[in-house]
Amino acid sequence: MPNSFLEMAFAEAEAAAARGEVPVGAVVVAADGRSVLARAGNRVEELADPTAHAEVLALRAACQTLGRPRLEGASLYVTLEPCAMCAQAVALARVARLVFAAYDPKGGGVEHGARVFARPTCHHRPEVIGGIDERRAAALLATFFKARR
């Protein structure tokens, strides 16, 4: 079933690209490992909001669905390594597992850059699984940016 959640995240990323947004998609799965709480794609341009990353939008929606600010036991599936802002949101939401496709050496905040979860000030560290279907995610991003250059 986890691959189907990543497939949903890819569908959100492709929809984001169709809207002219950087193609990143995210899906939050409940602690039961079966129920999708929320899914989203980037909407930074559409909403004129620099925080409207797929991860943040999906986490907000999942918290609204549950009526609480923490998502204990939940998993987040995303097509790109979260940036530092999104990684911190994952920690604050107490997400149990983060699964992402492509690594982001330039803007990532999990395995690269700020390495949010490795900081002593980080109060919650999820299980992290990166590089799942990395080539597909990287190709989606490369195609998107090539068309804009």
Domain span at 38: 4-144
7-31 b/e with 16+ CB inside 10 Å = b?
Answer: ebbbebbebbbeeebbbbbbbbbbe
**pLDDT by residue (tens digit) across 63-87?**
999 999 999 999 999 999 999 999 9
Give the list of residues 6+ apart from residue 1 with CB closer than 8 angstroms, or none. Answer: 33, 34
**Is 53 annotated among the ligand-binding residues?**
yes
Model pTM? 0.96
**Is 86 annotated among the ligand-binding residues?**
yes
User: What CATH number is given to the structural domain containing 39?
Assistant: 3.40.140.10
User: Is 82 part of any domain?
Assistant: yes
Number of domains in the chain: 1
**pLDDT by residue (tens digit) across 17-43?**
999 999 999 999 999 999 999 999 999
User: Is 107 part of any domain?
Assistant: yes
Catalytic site residues? Answer: 55
Q: Mean per-residue pLDDT for 91-98? A: 98
Q: What is the pLDDT of residue 149?
A: 74
User: Is 149 part of any domain?
Assistant: no
Does residue 1 have a pLDDT over 60? no
User: Is 43 part of any domain?
Assistant: yes
Give the list of residues 6+ apart from residue 85 with CB closer than 8 angstroms, or none. Answer: 51, 53, 56, 109
d(Cα 26, Cα 28) in Å, to the nearest integer?
7
User: Is 51 part of any domain?
Assistant: yes
d(Cα 43, Cα 56) in Å, to the nearest integer?
10
